[in-house]
Amino acid sequence: MQKLCLAAVCLLFAGDVSAAQLPVRQVIDRAVTEYIQPAFTELDATASSLDTTLDALCSTPSEATLSTAREAFKAVVVAWSRVEFLRFGPLLDDSRSDRMLFWPDRKGIALKQVQQVLAEEDATATDEVTLRQKSVALQGLGPLEYVLFGTGAEALGNGAPFRCAFGDTIATLVATTAKELVTAWTTGDYAQTLLAPTAEATNFRNRREVLEALLGALSHGIEAMRDTRLLPVVGRDGAVPKPKSALFWRSEMTVPALHAGFLGLKELFDVSGIGLAVTADGAWIANSLDFEFGNAERAFTAITSPIEGALQAPDQMRALGYLVILTQSLQTLLGENLSAALNLSVGFSSLDGD
Amino acid sequence: MWQRRAFLKAAGVGFAASLLPGRAAALERAELVFASSIETAAGGYAAALVSETGALIAEVALPDRGHDITFSPLTGQAVVFARQPGTFAVVFDPKGKSPPVTLTSIEGRHFYGHGAFSPDGRLLYVTESDYEAARGVIGVYDATGGFARIGEFDTFGTGPHEVLLMPDGRTLAIANGGIETHPDYGRTELNLETMEPSLAFVDAPTGELVGLLKLEAALHQLSIRHLAVDMRNRVWFGCQFRGVSGTPQLVGYATMDGEIRLIELPPDQLGSLRNYVGSVAAGKGGEMIAVSSPEGNTILAIDAATALPISALALDNGCGIAADAVGFMASSGDGELVGFAQGEVTPVRMNVKFDNHLRRVI
């Protein structure tokens, strides 16, 4: 086999940029133990609580139990938004990401299926085993939001047995999936594949590949936020805004979910110290990322209304448009500048799908 | 040297005269000339002609990031396509007699980054998406009439990517990647659970399907993306695996007789492709096939006759590959140009980022 010296340098890369301020091993360790594992633990806790509140709503329907269930749903949305960009390993296995949230749903498949289940009172949708065998579009946070906040949801406070049982079954599956996720990350061996990669492994053979996965999650997470959450709602190239294309508009969680996603990305970036795994020459990248994440935070403080109102208020609309611009800047900083400084291939030639 | 003279003759004196003095000299010295989309040192985008020594001969500014470039040796016209899901393509005239012309995708369609000329250079076939219907189409453009779009036909699949003209001069080989995207959601892949890639042979003059080849159903998440033709007129293809776990074979070939198969790469080399082939190229005469993985920083050369790998190159962000006189030249997102598999090019590094595809024009 021919190996050219110029390029063979990459084979020697053990994961560290020489003279980096922080070793890659520590970056990975911090990312896993200080962000990923706690974030999935939080998702598990909120999902478990949601399941309990749905039980209570169905056994004792009232305005109070409905309100509690709705708040518990919102807490799961926030916890989910902090992990959904970690699209490798446990989140992708067994279609867990799609089971938690089937999105984007361009053709409105989930809404049609949920309305059909409710109209027909399909008993197989109130059984964990049979619901799990159905389309993922019927199983996660999307249909549960419709049950709790969609047309006819107020009947839950007075007792709506089928609707409540359907919601309770979805909540149980959401809790089950969240439990599987935290188990895989904390007591299973998945974390070890990141912390101690081996040359024989099929997923991560060295720390460089782990670092690529982490940086890829950050970069692609920002891209997905722009392409699937912001632009379809704000409108591309001056198109008319579409508030009802927004994820979680019924529960008024569109903006809080976006905000939680930004905060999650920022926190993973901060606690992992991935921006410090470069030489002093690359220190500007982390500074720029800090600056842009700070700009995003300020933009969120300007968005005070639920999405429909925000799109009609010029100041808030401007802030949403500014977030679109910031996602572009953050993606370039992560996927190109930081990737290059870390000697990774997340960036220019290896974006998925070309 | 005869090749450069032939190119200059085809390009006309206007081309060399239009170059800056340093660049004209670079062209004069160049043995080989390649075209690629690039990101410039200043962060802009362009289509560039470069020599094998890393000299920049010419560049055409682009409004956004470009992807593949197709070239008609007969007319000397070149077209660079926007990276998918793109809405522009730029025709540039190496003769230097006319300024670049920008094409825009029509309402309801976007480009996928690849295209091919008819043998006489009069028609341009472009992979496009009818995105509301999630249907691939080939847009047909009149290269003799200002590149007016004069028709379209089906690719018989979703998410078409690379298209090339078979040596018979009339059949198009089309890689239907199988992945649905929609402009409302950028590059987000909308149908990974149900995707159904294929390799279609379509008769270009009539738009009729000659053959539609698919891998076994269990491999439905193996997106067929890039193509090259070998000495036996077999179409080699490189895939990107969009499933969650596993390392399926990624490289195969198909024939117009209806055969389609994946070759067996050894586990270590398959692993080094990281489930992602970004480009496929045939060497001179079609006896060698090269496949690249910018994800795995690896490029492999394969003996087409035996289907066995014969050479490997580790190249960070390496993706562009093109035949040189005896082997291959590779380019990388880090600006490197490297010869491999007997390729003669001494490694050089330019202060640009090369996009995924490299085409030899001299």
pLDDT (tens digit, 9 = 90+) per residue, B292-321?
999 889 999 999 999 999 999 999 889 999
Q: Which residues in chain B touch residue A11, judged by CB atoms under 8 angstroms apart? A: 314
Work out the minimum CA distance from A147 to partner chain B, whole angstroms. Answer: 24
A354 against B276, higher pLDDT: B276
Residue A4 has pLDDT above 70, yes or no: no
Residue B58: what pLDDT? Answer: 86
**Domain B2-360 sits in CATH 2.130.10.10:** yes
pLDDT number for residue B9: 52
Same domain (yes/no): A232, A296: yes
- Residues of chain B with Cβ-Cβ distance to A205 below 8 Å are 271
Interface list for A 135-194 with B (CB within 8 A): 136
- In-domain check, residue A296: yes
A10, A104, A228: residue with CB nearest B297? A10
A178 and A237 both lie in a single domain: no
Nearest CB among B186, B297, B354 relative to A231 is that of B186
In a domain, A283, yes or no: yes
Residue A18: the pLDDT is 63
- Residue A208 lies in domain: 197-341
Across the interface, do A4 and B39 touch by the CB < 8 Å criterion?
A: no
* Cβ within 8 Å, pair A10-B338: no
User: What CATH number has the domain bearing residue A179?
Assistant: 1.20.1420.20
Burial class for A60, CB neighbours closer than 10 Å (0-12, 13-18, 19+): exposed
Chain B contact for A107 (CB, 8 A cutoff): no
Non-local (6+) Cβ contacts of A56 within 8 A are A65, A68, A69
Domain identity same for A257 and A153:
no
- pLDDT of B174: 98
pLDDT tens across A265-294, in order?
999 999 999 999 998 889 999 999 999 999
A245 and A112 within one domain = no
> What is the pLDDT at residue B331?
96
**Within a domain: A11:** no
The mean pLDDT value for B204-231 works out to 97
- Greater pLDDT, A323 or B245: A323
**Nearest Cα to Cα of residue B334 among B310, B318, B311:** B318
DSSP letter for A209, please.
Answer: H
Looking at residue A227, the DSSP 8-state letter turns out to be I
Of A193, A214, A236, the one marking the end of a domain is A193
Query: Is residue A15 scored above 60 in pLDDT?
Result: no
In this structure, the answer to whether residues A174 and A301 fall within a common structural domain is no
Q: Would A8 be classed as within a structural domain?
A: no
Does the beta carbon of A340 lie under 8 angstroms from any beta carbon of chain B?
Answer: yes
User: Residues A227, B187: contact at Cβ < 8 Å?
Assistant: yes
Which residues of chain A have a CB within 8 Å of the CB of B357?
Answer: none
Q: Are A176 and A227 in a shared domain? A: no
Which of A133, A165, A193 is at the close of a domain?
A: A193
State how far the alpha carbon of A142 is from the alpha carbons of A92, A99, A105, B95, B187, in Å: 18, 10, 10, 57, 22
> Is A20 inside a domain boundary?
no
Specify whether A145 is located in the same domain as A206. Answer: no
Out of A264-268, B142-146, B345-349, give the one with best mean pLDDT.
Answer: A264-268
In a domain, A354, yes or no: no
How high is the ipTM of this complex?
A: 0.78
Return the higher-pLDDT residue of A221 and B95. A221
Same domain, A46 and A82: yes
Which residue ranges make up each domain of chain B? 2-360
What chain B residue is nearest to A208 in terms of C-alpha separation? B296
Residue B148 pairs with which residues in a beta bridge? Answer: B142
A237 and A337 housed in the same domain: yes
User: In chain A, how many domains are there?
Assistant: 2
Query: A154 and A256: one domain?
Result: no
What residues in B contact A136, CB-CB < 8 Å? Answer: 193
Pick the last residue of a domain from A161, A193, A225: A193
* Shortest Cα distance, chain A CAs vs residue B31, angstroms: 22
- Percentage of residues in chain B having pLDDT higher than 90: 71
B176: closest CA among B221, B209, B131, B224? B224
Question: Region B269-288: what's the mean pLDDT?
Answer: 95
B118 closest CA partner among B172, B37, B56:
B172
| pLDDT tens-digit readout, A104-153 | 988 888 999 999 999 999 999 999 999 999 999 999 999 999 999 999 99
Q: Are residues A160 and A251 part of one domain?
A: no
Q: Please give the pLDDT value at position A87.
A: 92
| Beta carbons of B138 and B202 less than 8 angstroms apart | yes
Inter-chain touch A2–B294, beta carbons under 8 Å: no
* Banded pLDDT at A310 (limits 50, 70, 90): very high
A229 and A307 co-located in one domain = yes
